[in-house]
Structure 1
Amino acid sequence: MENTDQDLIRETLSGNSQAFGKLVLAYQDFIFTVALRVVKVREEAEEVAQDTFIKAYESLGTYRGDSKFSSWLYSIAYRKALDRVRKYKRNKELELIEEITERQLDEVENALGYLEAQERRLMIDQCIMKLPEQEAALITFYYFEEMSVKEIAKITDLSEDNIKIKLFRSRKKLFNMLRSYIQPEEHEENGKAI
C-alpha cells in the first residue's frame, strides 16, 4: 500500500528522513517545471527547486493541512522563484497583445492538431518560457496542474479576478506566439496577412 502525503509528513516529523525523500520524488518534476517557467534558466530553476524542498523540510511542522500538501509546496516554489527573479531581474520587453478573433483561435487549434504531440508540447513549452514569470507560473498551475482559480489565489496571494485577467491575457499571448510558429499560407486573406 502506498503512503499518502499525510502519512509521509507524519513519518518525516517523527524523524524518518526517507519519508521526506519520497515526497521529494513525488513532486520534484513539477516543482522544477514551475521554477523553470518562472526563472527561465535551468541552473537557477534547479537551485529554486532545491531551496523549495529545503524550506519545505524546515517548515514541515508549520504545515496545517488547510490545503493540499502539493498546493502548500507549490506556494513555496512560486515564492522562491519570484524571489530569485527579483534578485536577478533581467530587462524584458513587454509584448503587445494584439486582438485576435475566434476564427484565428480556431485556425491555431486546427493547425496544432496536425503537429506531432511531442512537437506540440515542445512548442508550447518554448512559448510559455517567453511569457513573463508570473504569467508562466499561472498558466502552469491552471493548465498543467489543473488547479482551480481559488487554489491558485491561495498559492500566489493574488485575487481570483486578477488571476482570471492574467490567465486571459496570457492565453492571448500564447496564441499569438503559437500563431507565429505556424502561419501557413492559408492565414492570408485578400493578399493581406491576418
Structure 2
Amino acid sequence: MKQTVDQPNIAAIVNGDSHEFSKLVETYKHMVFTLAMRTLKTREEAEEVAQDTFVKVFKSIKHFKGDAKLSSWIYRIAYNTCLDRLKKYKKEMQNRPMEEINAFEVAEIQNALTGMIQKERLELIKKCIDQLLPTDAALLTLFYFEDKNLNEMAEVLEMSANTAKVKLHRARTRLGVIIKEQLEPETIGSYGQG
C-alpha cells in the first residue's frame, strides 16, 4: 500500500494511533457529512451516518489495501452507510417522473443558470439536489461539489464508469426539471408569450 503525503498514516491507525485517526476524520469529515446530508436530507441523520461511517472506517481500515484512493474508499463506506440507513427506516423518497424536456427548454435553463452568480447557482443546485433520490443526489454531489470524475464516481458507488455516465446524465436531466420548476418565470424568459 502506497502512502501519500496528504494521507493520514494508515499503518499507524491500524496499530491504534488515535492522533492519526483524528487526522483522517478531520481530513474527510466535511466530505462524508456533505454526502450524507445530500442523501438523507436531515442534519441529525447525516451526523449519525457520518459518525457511523468513521466507526466503520476505523474497524475496517486494516483491510484497506491502497488499490483505490483513500477518499474513494471512505466515500464508498459513507454511501453504503447512507443506503443502510434509508433501508433501516424504509424512507419513502419522492420520485419525480422523468419529464420530456425539449432542446429549447434545456438551452433556456442553461442560459438562465449561466446568468446567475456562482453562489446563487450552487445554492439553487443544492436545494434542488435535496429533492432527488439518494443515488441521484450522491452522483450529483460527487460531480458538482467534490469534482469527482466518472471513474471516481463509479468506484465510490460500485458501478461501471458507463453506468455512472448514464445515471449521471439521467440525474442531471431530473435536476434540470426541478431547476426549471424552481426558477422564476421571468428568469427563464417569456417564451411562448406574444
TM-score range, shorter chain: 0.7 to 0.9
Question: What is the TM-score of this pair, normalised by structure 2?
Answer: 0.88
2 CA distance for matches of 1:161 and 1:91?
28
Q: Corresponding residue for 1:35?
A: 36
Contact 2:40 2:86 in 1 (8 A): yes
Relative to 1, partners in 2 of residues 1:33 and 1:85: Cα closer, same or farther, differing over 3 Å?
Answer: same
Structure 2 counterpart SS, 1:66: coil
Task: Give the length in aligned residue pairs.
Answer: 189
Q: Corresponding residue for 1:47?
A: 48
Contact 2:94 2:131 in 1 (8 A): no
| Mapping 1:4-153, distance limit 5 Å | 4-5=6-7, 7-153=8-154
| Displacement after TM superposition at 1:153 (Å) | 2.4
| Displacement after TM superposition at 1:87 (Å) | 0.8
2 CA distance for matches of 1:187 and 1:160?
39
Stretch moving more, 72-81 or 121-130: 121-130
Stretch moving more, 76-85 or 176-185: 176-185
2 CA distance for matches of 1:77 and 1:187?
43
Letter paired with 1:31:
V
| Displacement after TM superposition at 1:19 (Å) | 1.1
Letter paired with 2:191:
E
| Displacement after TM superposition at 1:180 (Å) | 1.5
1 CA distance for matches of 2:171 and 2:6?
34
2 CA distance for matches of 1:54 and 1:95?
34
Structure 1 counterpart SS, 2:91: coil
Unaligned 5+ runs, structure 1: none
Contact 2:10 2:61 in 1 (8 A): yes
1 CA distance for matches of 2:19 and 2:9?
9
Matched, 1:156 2:157: yes
| Displacement after TM superposition at 1:190 (Å) | 4.4
Stretch moving more, 22-31 or 98-107: 98-107
Unaligned 5+ runs, structure 2: none
2 CA distance for matches of 1:122 and 1:104?
21
2 CA distance for matches of 1:118 and 1:154?
29
1 CA distance for matches of 2:82 and 2:129?
15
| Displacement after TM superposition at 1:97 (Å) | 1.5
1 CA distance for matches of 2:190 and 2:21?
52
1 CA distance for matches of 2:93 and 2:39?
13
Q: CA RMSD in A?
A: 1.9
Question: What is the TM-score of this pair, normalised by structure 1?
Answer: 0.88
Structure 1 counterpart SS, 2:130: helix
Letter paired with 2:192:
E
Structure 2 counterpart SS, 1:130: coil
